[in-house]
Structure 1
Amino acid sequence: MADAAWRADPLAWGHGPRVFEAFLEPTCPYSVRAFNKFDLLLAEAGADRITIKIRLQPQPWHMYSGVVTRCVIAASTLPGGKEEAKKVIAAVGAHREEFEFDKHWGGANLDATPRDIIKRVEDYSGVALFDAFAIPDLDKEIKWHCKYARQNGIHVSPTFMIDGLVQPDMSSGDAVADWAAKLVGK
């Protein structure tokens, strides 16, 4: 697959006119909390009323952020596209401690290699990633996510935008009903 043409499937669900963009780092506990609410939000607000788009926001204090982000993008290039990427995000979130350092600097993961991290993601998600991870110019898609975040003044995860406007009053701790009300007035 490394030499084949590829396409990253956009990480978007729903087809409504209101666009809810979430800038997430897959190993961040607050991003995980937000991600776990998206299916409920789509059901409550209505897939015909909103579109949820995940934008990846790698962060250097999450030490394997770049490797895990590349795994998500790699998964989006596989048959099944965004649904494979969703499996990867969910698996990483469900096993965060396997992808994080203790207090962002120590612990058992100091001895883990990027190959170990990719293998863990594969094992937990059931998605075969090694070939897609090795796509030579996959970093173009990762750079797009980073550039898009910077252009919108996004520096941390999770950050939320509605229809292109950053929502500083939204939090991963908010109830799904509050998000739905903000999006569609429910």
Structure 2
Amino acid sequence: MTRCAWAGTDPVYIAYHDTEWGVPEWDARALWEKLILDGFQAGLSWITILKRRDNFRAAFAGFEPEVIAGWSEPEVERLLADPGIIRHRGKIEATIGNARAYCELGQDFSDWCWSYVDGVPIQTDRESQADVPAFTPLSTQMSKDLKKAGFRFCGPTIVYAWMQACGLVNDHVTECPRREDCAAMAGTAA
């Protein structure tokens, strides 16, 4: 069996693929962190984000939405000066706005996210990376609903990548040994 081709040969990517990607995530704060990081990834490679993830966590107060929701221009300026993260004003401001949207959602973010798949990860049957779509009707709907709730940097492609990363969708290809592992963690047989 062969792991998903996107993992390549970089040890950081391989470790991410083999231990995190596709593992069902139920923690609301962790789901939010991953959505924010996927938004920062827009226009960049995921490896760029992975290699700076610890810097992001330090800069963004451990991705505690309740803390970030109270931030304003001084924190934006501090973050724009931080060489350890992606210094993009729009993405930084979106993160603060997304923290506010998270806090105002009116329900647990994990429950909200998992309701789109009825609490059970979607198990796909893709034979190769070429079979994996960039987005789906479901990621498009989630994106629209996130935007309606006040979130930004959450288009259908970002949302689908996030759904894959958080295990809402098990998109490990059929030959990847992690496919069965992630299906078992989800309580379903692939």
Fold similarity call, TM over 0.5: no
TM-score interval, normalised by the smaller of the two chains: 0.3 to 0.5
TM-score, normalization by structure 2: 0.36
TM normalised by structure 1 equals 0.37
